[in-house]
Amino acid sequence: MVIFDSIIIGSGAGGLAAALCLARAGQKVAVIEQHYVPGGWCHSFYIDGHRFSPGVHYIGGLDKGQSTNVLYQGLGIANELVFFRMNKDAYEHCWIGEERIDIPAGIDNLIQSLSTHFPDEKKGIKKYLGLVKKISKELFLIPAMKGFWDNLTIVYRTRHLGKYGLFSLKRVIGWYIKNPLLKKVLNIQCGDHGLPPSKASFPLHCALMDHYFNGGFYPMGGGAAIVKAMTNAIKNYKGYIYTGQAVKKILLTGNKRKKVTGVELQNGEKMLAKNIISNADPSITYNLIGHENVSAKLQKKLSNTRYSLTSLIFFITVNMDVHEAGMDSGNIWYMPQKDMDEIYKDLTKISILEKDEFESLFISCSSLKDPLSYNGYEHTIEAVTFIDYDSFKAFNAERNSSDNKYLAIKNRLIEKLLNSFKRILPTVHRHIVNIELGTPITNEYYINSTKGNVYGTEKGFWQTGPFSFTNKSEIENLYMCGSSIMSHGVAGASYSGVRAAAKVLGCTENDLLQTGETQEIRIYDAEDDTLWPDWMHKKISEKKKRTESKFSNVIDTRE
């Protein structure tokens, strides 16, 4: 029987980052993934030759010296990655009722743009966004603090976090901003953590806004490009990646003080290891442990743990130039002109089949974010809306192609989306050639997330920071990473994996992220092809030629 130093359960961004750090440190590592491809929410899949990435819509912090850039350089995969910078003037389009307001990259640009739209709020805008920047900076100071002097000065150096850290987003923004529409614009990215302003932790939202202050970026090749860079690096360091193999339980030894010894797969095979890192969410992880093996305190915490919202994700193909419809590489946040807390309440409380349209949607064109994915004829669009898991499960539908009830519900939901598009994107609606729908049951099946959640644990105040689950569990040599531990999103989950590896190795995150001068991410402007390299233009040209040949053959056959 093969014995590993560390086994990682789940191949999401956190699990892969942990595996890469450990393998590079010389450990014998195995990653076990129940899906047939690695990546978790970062994976990509194809429909009729078109690539979709369900969990990667944009990433921030990628300019030189920023957190995500430092992460990929430190992991040694930066040279393998190419990113496109989304529309600098409007990486977020806020469609609120009849209002159309864009969010540009750069905090100074944002202040200027919003001050032009809302001149009476100019002073409040500058103060509020300055506070967001300060609190985010202080949040990042905490993990880096060490030694006597840092501990002595921590209270002063994180004074803004101490002052505002216990308040909700709604409370704090209300002290600086009065215009209801401006509040919605500044809170539009609540969709990136799935909580309304009254429930969102202000510090968490500050970190999220700061992550995108310099704009949004999208990986060439979709989410799968990040997965490929990580898995190739893991294999280069002699690590193992097993797909299509689910873990049945985590093996333990000891009576009072439990210690992991390995895992048992669904097929009965056992794999032994000194350490286990679970990239699964806490409920999934401790189901593999068995609740009888954890303390009463942890059992209570697990029973009280709330998970983020689940979603409907529509994967759409259209045969038109979507630029003609006014679309670009920026995201569209579409919602009604009413209080955001009411919007989120309606998303989770109203029956998903009750109305004929979706009131709120996140819409993005991935083939404009990644121009190399455009075949010259058909663009790919993803539309997302949040729903309540229990409201979907109330229909007792199962994810089975022969389940007529499930198929009928999906068809009804697709009809609702088409009705929405008729009104908000009518020219796009007329050119839709295919729609596929991912439901909460899809999320459970492929991602193995509790109640189909999309962001791990709910990121309210009592489940973040010191109240969240930590990398080190109460079970000896059992560690955790992923969206439920430090933070969610691709970067947040990846950093949690680095920290888990550091716990295993007894070092710091900085020890594992040694930035090399030879590592550099290539970034190009999605809206300006004049600065793209020759190899990129050649690749696009070759793809269009293949598509032309394919379409001409279809036409000849029909004739």
Q: DSSP assignment of 355-385, as one string?
A: SSS-S-EEEEEHHHHSGGG--SS-EEEEEEE
pLDDT-above-70 percentage for the chain:
92
Start-end of H helices in 196-295: 202-212, 223-236, 282-289
Answer whether residue 142 is part of any domain.
yes
Answer whether residue 523 is part of any domain.
no
Answer whether residue 497 is part of any domain.
yes
- pLDDT tens string 141-193: 555 545 434 444 444 456 667 677 788 999 999 999 999 999 999 999 999 99
Answer whether residue 290 is part of any domain.
yes
Name residue 534's amino acid: D
Question: pTM (2 decimals)?
Answer: 0.93
Tokens of residue 20, six digits: 């890469």
Answer whether residue 92 is part of any domain.
no
Does 21 share its domain with 124?
A: no
Domain end among 158, 189, 213: 213
Does 470 share its domain with 366?
A: no
Residue 241: alpha-carbon gap to chain centroid: 22
Does 150 share its domain with 175?
A: yes
Does 535 share its domain with 446?
A: no
Residue 439 has pLDDT above 70, yes or no: yes
pLDDT band at 245 (very low <50, low <70, confident <90, very high): very high
Does 20 share its domain with 135?
A: no
Which pLDDT score, from 0 to 100, does residue 144 have? Answer: 56
How many structural domains comprise the chain?
A: 4
Which pLDDT score, from 0 to 100, does residue 248 have? Answer: 97
CB 263 within 8 A of CB 32: yes
Does 240 share its domain with 170?
A: no
137-141, 485-489, 543-547: range with lowest mean pLDDT: 137-141
Answer whether residue 543 is part of any domain.
yes
Average pLDDT over residues 478-492: 93
Does 16 share its domain with 134?
A: no
246 by DSSP, 3-state: which? coil
Which pLDDT score, from 0 to 100, does residue 381 have? Answer: 98
Does 327 share its domain with 421?
A: yes
Which pLDDT score, from 0 to 100, does residue 157 have? Answer: 53
The two counts, helices (H) then strands (E), for the chain are 21, 19
Answer whether residue 97 is part of any domain.
no
Does 199 share its domain with 134?
A: yes
Mean of the per-residue pLDDT values of the chain: 91
Does 197 share its domain with 135?
A: yes
User: Which of 269, 275, 282, 281 shows the shortest CA–CA distance to 242?
Assistant: 269
Does 390 share its domain with 433?
A: yes
- pLDDT tens string 248-268: 999 999 877 799 999 999 999
CB 274 within 8 A of CB 419: no
Query: In which domain, by residue range, is 41 found?
Result: 3-84+220-306+459-512
Answer whether residue 518 is part of any domain.
no
Assign residue 479 the CATH number of its domain. 3.50.50.60
Does 343 share its domain with 413?
A: yes
Domain end among 437, 454, 471: 454
